């Protein structure tokens, strides 16, 4: 059974940087893509970034393009989200998710992903 565990969130100030980690355990050979999503209070869960597990192709939402970087270390079964120049509107619970092989790239909808972590809170103060 695949398990995803996020870490690295916290309270930061606007302009700061944070790196989130998503550690995967279980049959990661099933992974096709891994995505980072976020959900702010009262808002729907939205895609932030995604990465192809095998090829390394990346996707970013327009709101984070140029500020966030998604990367992976296959040897450690870990996906990272480096977040720079954080803004108060980046405040949310951040989730990582894995897809087990749906067609299409990028997968940007939460219901396209098969396994989810528990989330980590990122709060950006102004």
pLDDT in tens, 12-35: 999 999 999 999 998 877 788 999
How far is 93 from 44, CA to CA, in rounded Å? 11
Cβ neighbours of residue 63 closer than 8 Å, sequence gap 6 or more: 89
Angle at Cα 14 formed by Cα 12 and Cα 20, nearest 5°?
50
- pLDDT at 19 (0 to 100): 98
- pLDDT at 56 (0 to 100): 79
- pLDDT at 64 (0 to 100): 98
Higher pLDDT, 105 or 12: 12
Write out pLDDT tens, residues 55-87.
779 999 999 999 999 999 989 999 999 999 999
CA atoms within 13 A on the CB side of 58: 17
């Amino acid at each position: 059974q695949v398990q995803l565990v996020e870490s690295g969130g916290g309270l930061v100030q606007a302009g700061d940087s944070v790196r989130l980690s998503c550690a995967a355990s279980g049959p990661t050979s099933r992974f096709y893509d891994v995505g980072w999503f976020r959900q702010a209070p009262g808002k729907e869960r939205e895609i932030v970034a995604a990465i192809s597990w095998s090829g390394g192709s990346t996707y970013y939402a327009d709101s984070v393009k140029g500020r966030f970087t998604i990367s992976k270390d296959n040897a450690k079964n870990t996906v990272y989200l480096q977040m720079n120049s954080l803004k108060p509107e980046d405040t949310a619970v951040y989730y990582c998710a894995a897809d087990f092989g749906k067609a299409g790239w990028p997968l940007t909808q939460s219901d396209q992903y098969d396994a989810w972590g528990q989330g980590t809170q990122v709060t950006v103060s102004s």
